[in-house]
Structure 1
Amino acid sequence: MQFKKVTHVIFDMDGLLIDSESIYDEIISEILAQFGKEYTDDCKLKVLGTTQIDTAKIVLKESQIPLTLEEFLKQFRKATQIALQNPVMMPGARELVKHLYKNEIPIAVATSSSQELMELKTKPHQDVFKLFHHIVCGSTDKEVKNGKPAPDIFLICASRFPENPDPANCLVFEDAPNGVKGASRAGMQSVMVPAPYIPQELRKNATVVLDSLKEFKPELFGLPERE
């Protein structure tokens, strides 16, 4: 199957390039457990890909635990500072990024993470993250007014390439339904690598769905084939 040819590639980060979503799940589960509540798959789906503040608002609304937004964020941020110091790369991520860079395909990251947390999580993997032309952090970037599933972060990320490519020429890699929806609203094709618990109906917006980045065939989108 052939898809529309692209010239630029935008990656999500959490759960797509680095395995940090499982760490976030654990942190939120521990906060909720203090009040005898569980972090359900339904709540995880709503949270996946959102900014830090939106994550907190959704969890508080869904769980009804007696914490203010500020109290929740204080606990959440304190735990993440410890737990996210050395996350592992997702299967195939390092190889794909290096392949695109080597073949001079412009690449960037559009993450809902804050600048501070992005720097913390990527520190052990600078061999990969130094290859990106730029990284847009949705939780702290002043230009990103609305988080995923709004298209803002993807449009801003595309505009920061020197070539300012048409959104139709950009391919987005995502693990989250909110991210795929945002890419679609931005007029971009998307490759989704979802967690197993994400239901089929929430995968439908993606141009293609894969089990792992190892499966991605760049030539389908007019990109240089892997050696």
Structure 2
Amino acid sequence: MTGLSPVFPEAVLWDMDGTLLDTEPIWDEAMDALAARHGVPMTPQLRRATLGNNSVDALTKVYDAARLPESGRDFDADEAWMVAMVVKLFARELPWRPGAVALLDLVAAAEIPMVLVTNTMREVADIAIETIGAHRFVATVCGDEVAVGKPAPDIYLRAAEIVGAAPGDCLAIEDSPTGAAAAHAAGVPNLVVPSQIPVAAASKRVFRQTLAGLTVDDLARLFAQARTDTPA
């Protein structure tokens, strides 16, 4: 096999929060405030359960923790409140995850199409995309632009459709159990670089501690491994 050219994915599908940008501490702050708004503490267990969720799933878990009856669950009002708070928090400096900028540049130089695939709603995501650079991607897909957000497969299936590739020919880069589950459900091989909580092993899933130091040849190797790997 020596001397053969590496096989690159047809597209790289990037998660945003916790993968490209170190925004999970900002979401921690917002989720703490949301829980307090409903009179419950944001315990480590509850935060782990909501990490990477779309807004409906995250709100439902907070409502359940608060034992809020169905009649008292105002998703629209609480989502608007969360959006306003997170927009304000995102207006501060958004730090990059280690190695993210360099790898974005290397993938672009290799002319591999990239799609940003985030559960964050468009109104909030666009603020972060200004930091990342919309020009880097052929498209960006947000959680409120598909029928069901992560961990459902919809958002990854949509991203693969946009680039005209089979899901199994793309590579997803994720940090959370919710995002990795979405990629898995869509049949997209995924590279997981955990940010806050561990992600379980699964088929078509490989792991790395950081994006720092990765080359495009490394990415091709990890892609090949993810396409064939089964969990240990």
Query: In 1, distance between residues paired with 2:34 and 2:178?
Result: 23
CA distance in 1, matches of 2:78, 2:223: 45
Q: Which of the two has greater helix per residue?
A: 2
Tell me which residue corresponds to 1:51.
54
Alpha-carbon separation, structure 1, partners of 2:149 and 2:131: 26
Question: CA contact under 8 A between 1:4 and 1:221: conserved in structure 2?
Answer: no
Task: Report the secondary structure of 1:220's partner residue.
Answer: helix
- Per the alignment, residue 156 of structure 1 pairs with 158
> Which of 9, 14, 21 lines up with 1:11 in the alignment?
14
CA separation of 1:124/1:9 partners in 2, compared to 1, >3 Å: closer, same or farther? closer
> Does the Cα contact within 8 Å between 2:53 and 2:150 map onto a contact in 1?
yes
Q: Tell me: CA distance 1:30–1:184, structure 2 relative to 1, closer, same or farther (3 Å).
A: same
> Could you tell me which residue of structure 2 aligns to residue 138 of structure 1?
143
- Per the normalisation by structure 1, the TM-score is 0.83
State the one-letter code of the partner of 2:99: G
Q: Does 1:32 align with 2:31?
A: no
- Structure-2 separation of matches of 1:36 and 1:114: 25
Q: CA–CA distance in 1 between the matches of 2:8 and 2:140?
A: 23
Equivalent in the alignment of 1:214: 212
Of residues 102, 106, 109 in structure 2, which corresponds to 1:102?
109
Which sections of structure 1, spanning at least 5 residues, go unmatched? none
Indicate yes or no: 2:206 matched with 1:203: no
TM-score by length of 2: 0.82
Query: Do the aligned partners of residues 49 and 220 (structure 1) sit closer, same or farther apart at CA in structure 2, a change above 3 Å counting?
Result: same
Indicate which of 66, 71, 79 corresponds to 2:85. Answer: 79
Report the 3-state secondary structure (helix = DSSP H, G, I; strand = E; otherwise coil) of the residue aligned with 1:160. helix
* Distance (Å, rounded) in 1 between the aligned partners of 2:67 and 2:95: 32
1:180 aligns with 2:180: yes
- Tell me how far 1:10 sits from its aligned partner: 0.3
**Cα distance in 1, alignment partners of residues 39 and 61 from structure 2:** 18
Provide the rounded CA distance (Å) in 1 between the counterparts of 2:157 and 2:38: 40
CA separation in 2, counterparts of 1:170 and 1:134? 14
CA pair 182-68 structure 1, distance change in 2 beyond 3 A: same
Q: Percent identity?
A: 27
**AA aligned opposite 1:25:** D
Cα RMSD, aligned residues only: 2.3
Contact kept? 2:21, 2:95, Cα under 8 Å? yes
Alpha-carbon distance, 1:34 to partner: 4.9
Q: Which runs of 5+ in 2 are unaligned?
A: 1-5, 225-232
The answer for the alignment partner of 2:230 in structure 1 is none
- Cα distance in 2 between the residues matched to 1:222 and 1:184: 14
| In structure 2, C-alpha distance between the alignment counterparts of 1:14 and 1:124, rounded to whole Å | 12
Aligned to 1:147: 149
Q: What displacement does 1:62 show?
A: 2.2
Q: Distance in 2 between matches of 1:218 and 1:51?
A: 28
Q: Which amino acid aligns with 1:154?
A: Y
Contact 1:60 1:69 in 2 (8 A): no
The 3-state SS of whatever aligns with 2:212 is: helix
